Amino acid sequence: MMNSHAKTAPAQDPPTDPSDQDDGAGSDSGTAGSVNSVVEGVLTLSQLCAQLEVSTQTIYDLRCQGRGPRGFRVGRELRFRASEIDAWLSRLEREDELRHRTGGR
């Protein structure tokens, strides 16, 4: 029984074994973390419309006019990066402010 315990002890302590550190498992978890952060920053069209309280047609119309957020498709579904939505909303605010300063379009 002592021999089986001695064999399992090194497996329970991976940080002290250099071969376990170099097997790429750490890089996989780093990749998974960065993939999660990328995916967390992506909104679907439905999510964007719900947050802005507008219809999907409004977003489609704005995009056709060149005034909508930049997006990308995953299959047939339109997606938007949260950073792009923030930049787009900032552009809309600036345009609106300029329009009000000049008294029109």
Distance CA 29, CA 71 (A): 28
The contacts of residue 82 (CB under 8 Å, 6+ apart) are: 41, 42, 43
pLDDT for 64-100, tens place per residue?
Answer: 999 999 999 999 999 999 999 999 999 999 999 999 9
- Is residue 43 a contact partner of residue 85, using CB atoms and an 8 Å limit? yes
Residue 104 structure tokens: 């029109």
- Ramachandran assignment for 17, one of left (phi > 0), alpha (psi -120 to 50 degrees), beta (any other): beta
pLDDT for 51-70, tens place per residue?
Answer: 999 999 999 999 999 999 99
Domain layout of the chain by residue ranges: 41-105
CATH topology of domain 41-105: Multidrug-efflux Transporter Regulator; Chain: A; Domain 2 (1.10.1660)
pLDDT for 37-50, tens place per residue?
Answer: 667 799 999 999 99
